[in-house]
């Protein structure tokens, strides 16, 4: 599943999120992400597996992985 772009996320006020908590949490459990906002701040709610994937992709350098995994065994 591809992570959604931030600008594509549906946005809810804190009150809307609280009023529809069970439905929205069910949607998050099925892979959706949302922006939750109040007058001054915004937060993004993201499924756990997407958060972990993003964290790994943003921190781990692909070249570093290749150095440790893409090699021929010594003879």
Residue 75 lies in a domain: no
End-to-end CA separation in angstroms for the chain? 40
Residue 74 lies in a domain: no
pLDDT of residue 47: 83
Residue 1 lies in a domain: no
Residue 51 lies in a domain: yes
Residue 2 lies in a domain: no
| Distance separating alpha carbons of residues 47 and 52, to the nearest angstrom | 9
Domain that holds residue 65: 7-69
Residue 26 lies in a domain: yes
Q: Is the pLDDT of residue 58 over 50?
A: yes
Q: Across residues 10-36, what is the average pLDDT?
A: 93
Q: Is the pLDDT of residue 24 over 90?
A: yes
Q: How many domains does the chain have?
A: 1
CATH number at residue 37: 3.40.1620.10
Q: Is the pLDDT of residue 2 over 50?
A: no
């Amino acid at each position: 599943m591809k992570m959604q772009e931030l600008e594509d996320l549906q946005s809810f006020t804190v009150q809307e999120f609280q009023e529809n908590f069970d439905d929205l949490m069910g949607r998050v459990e099925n892979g959706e992400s949302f922006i939750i906002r109040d007058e001054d701040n915004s937060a993004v709610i993201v499924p756990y597996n997407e958060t972990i994937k993003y964290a790994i992709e943003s921190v781990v350098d692909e070249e570093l992985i290749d150095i440790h995994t893409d090699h021929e065994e010594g003879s």
